[in-house]
């Protein structure tokens, strides 16, 4: 092979991980150990590990080490099914932590919903887990008129379920935007990963069946933890 050494290393690591996944219990040996095992430098070794990270095979958490990434979560952003539902449907364990509840303006949300920039919102910030791994943080910006006492009531349950059951809102129209990104220092910190980690940003503007604005949603996912899947029928 005339390939770069770090690419060969990537392949060797891939098979090594494959064979020892069970015995390592998801956590790779220390970088210094691996570097010595392959008789190379930590710099080169890390280059190879970063490749595998880009593929979504492994990831790192805090400063605790490298871990083997679980299967991606299949996610359909066009459907109403709550996070908890479809995580469970895939045999995984969901969890949600509420990070912030406040009333605030947020011009990006206002613009996406066609409201004036000084429109106040009810802001819910939460972190979501799959099998105890934090996989996304999101900010929800809800139009106050649509859900008056939301901030007093809310305690981590499904927002869309709440909107439907308590206020009778049926979410009918939505506009979705997806962009790959590098996680901002804040998002990264809240997800316990290094700043600049690859992520996927999903934004949704949601209206009811009369095109009244309901909610704007900003999600920041770890890039390796989801697979977006959309099923469409009917000619367009």
108 binds a second copy (CB under 8 A): no
Whether residue 182 contacts residue 196, with contact meaning beta carbons closer than 8 Å, is answered with yes
Contacted by 181, from DNA, a second copy, none: CB < 5 to 8 Å by type: a second copy
DSSP for 8-29, please give it.
HHHHHHHHHHHHHHHHHTTBPP
Site for a second copy in 181-210 (CB under 8 A): 181-182, 185, 195-196, 198, 200, 209
Would you state the torsion angle of the CA atoms of residues 109, 115, 118, 119, taken in this order, to the nearest 10 degrees? Answer: -80
Task: Please list, in sequence order, all residues whose beta carbon lies within 8 angstroms of the beta carbon of residue 151, skipping any fewer than 6 positions away.
Answer: 101, 102, 103, 122, 124
Site for DNA in 96-155 (CB under 7 A): none
Alpha-carbon gap, residue 18 to 21, rounded angstroms: 6
51 binds a second copy (CB under 8 A): yes
44 binds DNA (CB under 7 A): yes
80 binds a second copy (CB under 8 A): yes
Applying CB under 7 A, the span of 11-19, 63-71, 145-153, 206-214 interacting with DNA comes to 63-71
Binding site for a second copy (CB under 8 A): 3, 7, 10, 50-51, 54-56, 72, 77-80, 170-182, 185, 195-196, 198, 200, 209, 223-224, 227-236
């Amino acid at each position: 092979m005339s390939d770069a050494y770090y690419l060969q290393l990537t392949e060797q690591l891939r098979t090594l991980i494959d064979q020892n996944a069970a015995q390592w219990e998801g956590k790779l040996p220390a970088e210094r150990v691996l570097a010595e095992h392959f008789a190379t430098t930590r710099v080169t070794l890390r280059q190879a590990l970063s490749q595998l990270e880009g593929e979504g095979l492994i990831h790192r958490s805090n400063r605790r080490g490298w871990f083997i990434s679980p299967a991606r979560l299949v996610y359909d952003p066009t459907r109403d099914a709550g996070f908890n539902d479809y995580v469970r449907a895939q045999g995984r364990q969901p969890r949600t932590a509420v990070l912030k509840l406040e009333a605030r303006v947020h011009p990006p949300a206002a613009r996406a919903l066609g409201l004036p920039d000084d429109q106040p919102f009810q802001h819910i910030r939460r972190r979501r887990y799959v099998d105890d791994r934090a996989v996304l943080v999101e900010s929800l910006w809800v139009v106050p008129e649509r859900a008056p006492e939301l901030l007093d009531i809310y305690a981590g349950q499904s927002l869309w379920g709440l909107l439907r059951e308590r206020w009778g809102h049926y979410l009918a129209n939505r506009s979705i935007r997806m962009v790959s990104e590098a996680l901002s220092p804040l998002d990264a910190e809240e997800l316990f990963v290094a700043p600049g980690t690859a992520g996927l940003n999903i934004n949704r503007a949601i209206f009811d069946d009369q095109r009244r604005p309901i909610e704007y949603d900003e999600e920041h996912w770890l890039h390796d933890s989801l697979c977006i899947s959309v099923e469409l029928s009917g000619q367009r």
